[in-house]
Structure 1
Amino acid sequence: MKKLTLSTVTLLTAVTLAGCSTSENVVTSAGNQTITKDEFYEAMKDSVGETTLQRMILINIFENEAGTNEFAKEADAEVTESMASVGGEEAFKGFIQEMGFASIEDYKQQILLNKLLPEAIKNRTEITDEDLAAAYESYEPQINAAHILVDDEDVAKDLIKQINEGADFAELAKENSTDGSAENGGDLGFFGKGQMVPEFEEVAYTLDEGEVTDTPVESEYGYHIIKMLEKPEKGTLEEETEQLKDIIIQEKIQDAAFFNGKLAEIVKDADVKVNDSDFKDIMAPFLVEEEAVEAQDSATTETEESATTESTPETEESAE
């Protein structure tokens, strides 16, 4: 089962301000009482305004950095898949609300941001031939596996027995698997190292194409019966270059100093203009690393200048 990385940042679609209190500026009314877009905007500023605006700005910045892409479509597809895996829209809403998301659109925007960020950083990062060669040594291509997930070990053993006697794996997955992959015959799609829970991944990578585990694999989710569908051969360094770049960037992002530095660099270069004075410092938290670097450079320069000044009299005396 794939691990989910979720953020608790909330999102609310920005409200466009109207210039006057006409009916076009009224969001709701009850009798002679109304709520205008201006009033609604001010209320939202106090609750979710800052985090919402930060994320909207970051998405705009990273869209510019990443260039043409299909990330929005991919985010839509992931939401649809996740929704199906938990049993539909209502169940999915409950699931993401527990994680701190106010809406499905909120969750979708976070997925989009998570896709844009590595691409933006990759475009700002020099990856050397030495980096690629080192990554290639330990690289293993993504694999495509299917599984049947059940809660009871004896049930899993009985299903393995049926498979060994000729039963169709995909049909058994549709009839018995307890997760969202059941409707696809257990097919989990392609995945790489670190994307599955360790117990599952360790066994999956030992299987040959067409092979099924002969004993149930226990994880925190239950008991898995795993079948290897596709296990591509490792390509040449040139063929695997793009995959390797993605892996290198993901590893670099785990380095807090590197990540914060690149993020600050991108945000600074974007030169964000904020017209609402209440949000004038909204991007300041993302520029901390840049300011720290500038402060360090300034301190270094002052130290060097001081050292030069202090050495001058001695130099003059020596000259005399």
Structure 2
Amino acid sequence: MEEQKEEALSKTNKNEQVKWKFFLMGIAVIVVLIGIFGVVYTVIAVRNLSTSPTVLKVAEVLNLPVLRVNGSAIPYVTYMDDLSTLNEFYSKAPEGAVPPSGEAVSDQVLSRLIVNSLIKDIARENQLTVTEEDIQKLKDEIFAQYASEAEVEVELQEQYGWDMATYIEKIIKPLVTEQKVSEAFEAGEINVGDEVYQLTDEVRASHILFRTDEEGVDLDDVKKNAEEVLARAKSGEDFASLATEFGSDATKEVGGDLGWFGQGMMVPEFEGPAFSTPVGQVNDQLVETQFGYHIIKVTDKRSVRNFGEYLDNRINDAKIEILIDKVHDPLEEYRRLQALNNTTQENSAQDVIVEEVVE
């Protein structure tokens, strides 16, 4: 009798264990299904360009990409974050200014993400690294026009919703990397194989800016002051000292030095005199631009390999995959123009061959 009771109890326990196993298995299946549903929902939401915080968080965890550049994924979250920031920036444009279309803003964001990815590739290939000293140096140059770093942080928060760490990661580091890659290329330190690149002219100049684009400025007084300082600069006074004393932009902290720049990098009114003034001389006249009056001194000139042409080639050779149908390809027009240019060159080459045969 006792044995029968124990046997019955044992069977009951086994039945309970089986029930619990099926129950737990059922829970596990439900959890998996919920997870699968969450992933599928997130993927669909991403394809529809969702900005939901929940979707963005899951997309970040899953590392869902918006595009790939040579196999390197550009996260959807990064794209949407930059897109939101740029839209916010344009929303604060002065009254009357026409903001770019949504497609144009998206193109700007993606183009910069593509270029940044390619430049990181070039830096890695050539073992070019960004140091803390590099970052600090550029920060000092950019922040020189502010009273303190705290003032910069306030403006970053108001304009972009960024803290300093975000600004360094999104702006400073990519700028430093691009600068290093560009300098290495121009110096011939980057191997380009058999490719031959055109030389482009660059100028190194310093300037002293007398601003006229601020409210309440007496234009006659500003011009008179600028003319007096121009006379002193032409007479041989130390230009860097004059720039430090009278300059009104960030370059005053470095004696007015603008560094090296090529054609198309400055406004036309400034570029012309900068390229035409001989090395070591101060331009004879004040140069007026939308920012104010400039006194320009050219300190050096050189011809270097065209980095823009090299970057164009890297873009042409890159495998760039837009992974979301609703995202416009920012390089669509670029590729069309490149194809048109290539066709024109091929036709010109054929014409030359025909002429030679006829002759």
Equivalences for residues 56-205 of structure 1 within 5 A = 63=120, 66-67=123-124, 68-71=127-130, 73=132, 74-97=134-157, 99-100=159-160, 102-111=162-171, 112-113=173-174, 129=195, 132=197, 135-136=198-199, 139-140=200-201, 142-151=202-211, 152-205=222-275
How far apart, CA to CA, are the structure 2 residues paired with 1:288 and 1:154? 47
Q: Of the candidates 296, 308, 318, which is equivalent to residue 247 of structure 1?
A: 308
Whether the aligned pair in 2 keeps the contact of 1:76 and 1:108 (CA below 8 Å) is no
How far apart, CA to CA, are the structure 1 residues paired with 2:164 and 2:325? 25
Question: CA 1:212–1:116 in 2, change beyond 3 Å: closer, same or farther?
Answer: closer
User: How far 1:169 sits from its partner (Å)?
Assistant: 1.7
Query: How many residues matched?
Result: 214
1:262 aligns with 2:318: yes
How far apart, CA to CA, are the structure 1 residues paired with 2:252 and 2:208? 7
Deviation per CA, 1:146-197, whole angstroms, max 9, x where unpaired?
Answer: 1111122221111112223343222211111001111222122222223323
Q: Which amino acid aligns with 1:264?
A: I
Q: Which amino acid aligns with 2:287?
A: V
How far apart, CA to CA, are the structure 1 residues paired with 2:301 and 2:81? 38
Aligned to 1:51, the other structure's residue is in SS state helix
TM norm structure 2: 0.47
Q: Which amino acid aligns with 2:206?
A: A
Q: Unpaired runs of 5+ in structure 1? A: 1-40, 235-239, 268-280, 290-320
Whether the aligned pair in 2 keeps the contact of 1:163 and 1:169 (CA below 8 Å) is yes
Question: CA 1:231–1:288 in 2, change beyond 3 Å: closer, same or farther?
Answer: closer
How far apart, CA to CA, are the structure 2 residues paired with 1:46 and 1:219? 49
Whether the aligned pair in 2 keeps the contact of 1:54 and 1:283 (CA below 8 Å) is no
Aligned to 1:85, the other structure's residue is in SS state coil
Q: Which amino acid aligns with 2:288?
A: E
User: How far 1:283 sits from its partner (Å)?
Assistant: 12
How far apart, CA to CA, are the structure 1 residues paired with 2:178 and 2:207? 31
Q: Which amino acid aligns with 1:213?
A: N
Q: Which amino acid aligns with 2:223?
A: E
Whose relative contact order is higher, 1 or 2, with alpha carbons under 8 Å and at least 6 apart?
2
User: How far 1:100 sits from its partner (Å)?
Assistant: 2.3
How far apart, CA to CA, are the structure 2 residues paired with 1:63 and 1:187? 28
How far apart, CA to CA, are the structure 1 residues paired with 2:165 and 2:224? 41
Q: Which amino acid aligns with 1:146?
A: S
How far apart, CA to CA, are the structure 2 residues paired with 1:172 and 1:128? 47
How far apart, CA to CA, are the structure 1 residues paired with 2:265 and 2:159? 20
Larger radius of gyration: 2
How far apart, CA to CA, are the structure 2 residues paired with 1:185 and 1:42? 50
Question: CA 1:97–1:184 in 2, change beyond 3 Å: closer, same or farther?
Answer: same
Q: Which amino acid aligns with 1:201?
A: E
1:45 aligns with 2:57: yes
Question: CA 1:251–1:288 in 2, change beyond 3 Å: closer, same or farther?
Answer: closer
Whether the aligned pair in 1 keeps the contact of 2:278 and 2:298 (CA below 8 Å) is yes
Q: Which amino acid aligns with 1:79?
A: K
How far apart, CA to CA, are the structure 1 residues paired with 2:77 and 2:121? 20
Question: CA 1:98–1:214 in 2, change beyond 3 Å: closer, same or farther?
Answer: farther
Moved more, 74-83 or 197-206: 74-83
User: How far 1:47 sits from its partner (Å)?
Assistant: 11
User: How far 1:87 sits from its partner (Å)?
Assistant: 3.6
How far apart, CA to CA, are the structure 1 residues paired with 2:329 and 2:178? 16
Aligned to 1:163, the other structure's residue is in SS state helix
Q: Which amino acid aligns with 1:109?
A: E
Deviation per CA, 1:59-103, whole angstroms, max 9, x where unpaired?
Answer: 889756641212455444322310113443133234444552512
Deviation per CA, 1:268-317, whole angstroms, max 9, x where unpaired?
Answer: xxxxxxxxxxxxx899969999xxxxxxxxxxxxxxxxxxxxxxxxxxxx
User: How far 1:104 sits from its partner (Å)?
Assistant: 2.2
Question: CA 1:66–1:216 in 2, change beyond 3 Å: closer, same or farther?
Answer: same
Report % sequence identity.
Answer: 25
TM norm structure 1: 0.52
Q: Unpaired runs of 5+ in structure 2? A: 1-52, 61-74, 83-112, 186-190, 212-221, 332-359
